[in-house]
Amino acid sequence: MKLLAGVYEKAQKRNPNEPEFLQAVEEVFESLEIVAERYPQYVTDGIFERLTEPERVIMFRVPWIDDKGNYQINRGMRVQYNSAIGPYKGGLRFHPSVNLSIIKFLGFEQTFKNALTGLPIGGGKGGSDFDPKGKSDKEIMKFCQSFMTELYKYIGQDTDVPAGDIGVGGREIGYLFGQYKRIRDEYCGVLTGKGRMWGGSLVRTEATGYGLIYFVNEMLKDKNETLEGKTVIVSGSGNVATYAVEKAQSFGAKVVTMSDSNGYIYDKNGIDLAAVKQIKEVERKRIKEYLNYHPDAVYTEGCKGVWSVPCDIALPCATQNEIDKDSALLLIKNGCKLLAEGANMPSTNEAIQVYKDSGIAYAPGKASNAGGVATSALEMCQNSMRYAWTFEEVDAKLSDIMKNIYKNASQTAKDFDKEGDLVFGANVTAFLKVAEAMYQQGLV
Ligand code: NDP
Ligand code: 2IT
């Protein structure tokens, strides 16, 4: 980094305790150096600096009572990162690791990801350090109601539209929506990922995982290859992982791993997804229970080991920084030729450098996992029309959106003589769009 070094240093000084946020900024700024050279006014007019500062951060107390009658206090937050191209849009994460650094990195990434979808959505993210694991349905409901009792003041269908992320799925969105409706007396598309019978879009549940595979198909097409017969490793066993596996299997791939934060399973015969869905979606248990269905599969404690399994394709679908430099080197040594991110920022910047040096095909999350938020935008669209498209209609739109993201990112990379560099292509395509919108709306 040269021209942007000063802006980055300022961000470091201003946010000394936010390593994940700085990591995301650094990754994007590395790509934007050429843009700063070509368009020096973006530096002098403070466009880059503006993008290191969210438009608004809201932080609040979330008190609730557990099943034993004890008072519990959590911290809630919403980062309204950028509204240049539409209402703030992005998920809510409930996980004990949630802090401002994590929510800011996610809001920053979301701003660029949402620009790539081609749909009118700005960037936002929120969440809480609440741990949903081991909580009863009633506790989840009480927490969600208390969380929304504060959050409702700041969101709205044309202002800020949250959705799910880690620890927030259909159940949580239901309780959050119910509380919003009760307080505001308003039935509208203020949240996405809603139940199908009450305003949710078909395909939203599957969208991030399906979209990831549609994106992988485009990457493979450029190499005259398909998923048929490829060995795939997947991390995670939540929403994104499950539907990535489902779609990859439908194209004939052999998926051999899934994981959770305790460990990973390896099934040489290919993952039995019906068993995983039963364990994770119905029983809400740990992935090691898979052995009860397939005693010949292997369970290994610790989630990092999943990257030691030989594969053609790796799909990290769990969480940030799950692949470090050593894991990246191991993946490549064992024959991995393509890596596409279902999770947000699952690779450290050192791991990304390893992918680049090795020349494998690599898709950054902001491009390859954009199918979830894109389908959320389609849900907003259906809510505004008070209409619902069929599964096939939404799926076809999702597929087109993923193809377009791939086309635009690869074309930008070519235009700047960086053919095949999807990190560069995605970052620059998204940045130029957001920057132009900010200019046109006035800088002060
Ligand atoms: P879920 O809560 O449904 O699943 C998360 C999965 O990742 C679980 O298997 C979980 O294991 C594992 N995991 C979570 N934290 C850790 C950790 N610290 N170490 C190891 N494993 C972990 O979340 P999603 O599937 O929705 O999200 C997964 C990733 O995809 C996240 O990075 C999210 O930001 C991103 N994403 C999600 C989208 C969506 O539409 N849901 C859209 C785009 C990106 P355990 O149960 O043990 O915690
Ligand atoms: O990271 C993401 O893109 C999401 N968690 C989905 C956000 C959304 O608004 O659907």
Task: Flag whether pLDDT at 138 surpasses 90.
Answer: yes
Give the distance from CA 417 to its chain's centroid: 28
| Ligand 2 contact, 192 CB (< 6 A) | yes
Task: Flag whether pLDDT at 444 surpasses 90.
Answer: no
For CATH 3.40.50.720, list the domain ranges present in the chain.
Answer: 207-368
Catalytic one of 89, 104, 113, 125: 125
Instruction: For residue 375, give the ligand 2 atom closest to its CA.
Output: 10
| Ligand 1 contact, 164 CB (< 6 A) | yes
Q: State the average pLDDT over residues 332-346.
A: 98
| Ligand 2 contact, 366 CB (< 6 A) | no
Instruction: Please report the pLDDT score of residue 407 as a whole number.
Output: 98
Would you report the helix, strand and coil content of the chain in percent, each value rounded to 5?
50, 15, 35
Residues 400-426: tens digit of each pLDDT: 999 999 999 999 999 999 999 999 999
For helices 391-415 and 100-116, give the axis angle rounded to 10 degrees: 90
Which residues sit opposite 57 in a β-bridge? Answer: 79
Find, among 295, 272, 299, 274, the residue nearest to 286 by Cα.
299
Give catalytic status of residue 125 as yes or no.
Answer: yes
Instruction: Please report the pLDDT score of residue 111 as a whole number.
Output: 98
| Ligand 2 contact, 271 CB (< 6 A) | no
For CATH 3.40.50.10860, list the domain ranges present in the chain.
Answer: 54-187
Instruction: Please report the pLDDT score of residue 186 as a whole number.
Output: 95
Residues 147-156: tens digit of each pLDDT: 999 999 999 9
Q: Whose CA is nearest to atom 19 of ligand 1?
A: 261
Residues 280-292: tens digit of each pLDDT: 999 999 999 999 9
Strand bridging mode 313-316 / 298-301:
unpaired
Superfamily (CATH) of domain 207-368:
NAD(P)-binding Rossmann-like Domain (3.40.50.720)
Please, which pLDDT band fits residue 1 given cuts at 50, 70 and 90? confident
Which residues sit opposite 397 in a β-bridge? Answer: none
Instruction: For residue 319, give the ligand 1 atom closest to its CA.
Output: 32
Q: Which residue has the tokens 């466009």?
A: 47
Q: Which CATH fold would you assign to the domain 54-187?
A: Rossmann fold (3.40.50)
Q: Is 100 helix (H, G, I), strand (E, B) or coil?
A: helix
Query: Which letter does DSSP use for residue 165 in this model?
Result: B
Report H helices in 117-203: 137-151, 170-184
Residues 31-48: tens digit of each pLDDT: 999 999 999 999 999 999
Q: State the average pLDDT over residues 282-307.
A: 97
